[in-house]
Structure 1
Amino acid sequence: MKKIDFRIALPNFITILGLCIGLNSIKLAFEGNFEKSIIFIVIAAILDSIDGRIARLINGTSKFGAELDSLTDFVNFGVCPGLIIYFWSLSNIKFYGWIVSLIFVVACCLRLARFNLSNENYFKNDWRVNFFSGVPAPAAAGLILLPMIFSFSEFNYIYLKNDFHNLIMVIIVSFLMVSKIPTYAFKKIQITKNIFIILAFIFVLYFGLLFNKTYETLVITGIFYLLLIPISFFNFINLKKTYEKKAKRKDGDSIISDEIF
């Protein structure tokens, strides 16, 4: 019998654990326990963010793991949030609410399929590796659940639940997922040691707030991410112009050298 290296199995176990947690969020939402369903989605997102990094750290990456991770993302950040928001709000709009939930799930599927193809075609050293094409699935899941998270936070005194507004939110986020609007990925960012220390303190502070003020921290995180979308778009445009100018200069220099020799 062929044996499997534990280094390859470990990240996949974490991915499967995240999948089980995500599926349990649907059960909780169906039972009306929406606050816990949000917590389960957050835990699934945390596991999703570490399984790939652990795989690369211990040299346990595999094609199977990549496909499993993509399918898990579709369930946890497409199917689960689509059903949760439907149970919480869109079911009140009946047929149209269900159609919009389906649109979100299908958009997530299309977005992940495109991401898998772009991952195969992207150059690892290309500057564009620091940008996603469209809003990634975990972020999109958080954005459509943001109104629900807002209602559970201490900021709920300035929030009035509106099913139609939630429907519009889901449509907009679905568009952002399948769009080609560049959003930050931060995959190949190099930082100094001093900045690393500062970021480590911020990281600890963030998770401290996440454990103590979960919904308030998630609301601020969602709003911050929304503000980052136009910033990432204009940053991408500026970088593209810069690298295109450099490419033209290199082409011009090569032409001159060819003429000389």
Structure 2
Amino acid sequence: MDANGIRLNKYLSEAGICSRREADRLIETGKVKIDGQAAVPGQKVLPGQSVTVKGRSVSAAKGETGHKAEPVFLAVHKPRGVVCTTSDKDRAPNIVDLVHYPVRIYPIGRLDKESEGLILMTNQGDLVNKIMRSGNAHEKEYLVKVNRPVTDDFIRKMRKGVTLSELDVTTKPCFAEKAGEKAFRIVLTQGLNRQIRRMCTQLGFEVRMLKRMRIMNIELGDLKPGAYRELSRREYHQMKESLKSSTSLSYQEQKKEKSDGRKIK
């Protein structure tokens, strides 16, 4: 570990406990302690300090048992009604409990409760952050069914970008095409909250079914709802190759790295 320490959310991510975003939530709710004291957001872990999450000891780049964790990367078909969180606050079944994998893993990003389809799960924190950062522009493809016929004008507007007044943002240009009378496919490189549903609502359509079919080079294929599979060696290496030029840092962390004169990674 660097003598100057490592940010706590990164420490937990590299330990395979959760993503940085989920780590921040755990810290904010007082479930993370450093040397027995409740940690605070943005705090660093210094060499020799002990870290616990919900009373369990954690070591950077190691699993919860204290031994170096073997890499795990799964493609999971999340069914409707399941939430993509490791929090114990939501009463709905969560994706971690659904998969019930023998090693501690967590989801990369989210699909809302009403949506289904592909989600990736892993214990590799750095890869999680590189895939999740919207600035890295990694593709995610969806099949969407709506309540009325899809028109050429609707597809044109989706491709151009839709202004979402409640978020005060216009979505980025994207690929979209008809996939049936009341269905379309769309490929996004950003991940705004409930983005596709908001875009459809803005254009006067209601989403009846939303299924994620692909993340980068990983496809859902014929995986059944609730089932999972390990990524093939080819899939894993193709994904790693695509992530080579990606950063795992947030925009604010990138600014700090640049101001400190350090290399972004």
TM above 0.5, yes or no, is: no
Higher strand proportion (structure 1 or 2): 2
Of structures 1 and 2, the larger Rg is shown by 1
Q: TM-score, normalised by structure 1?
A: 0.25
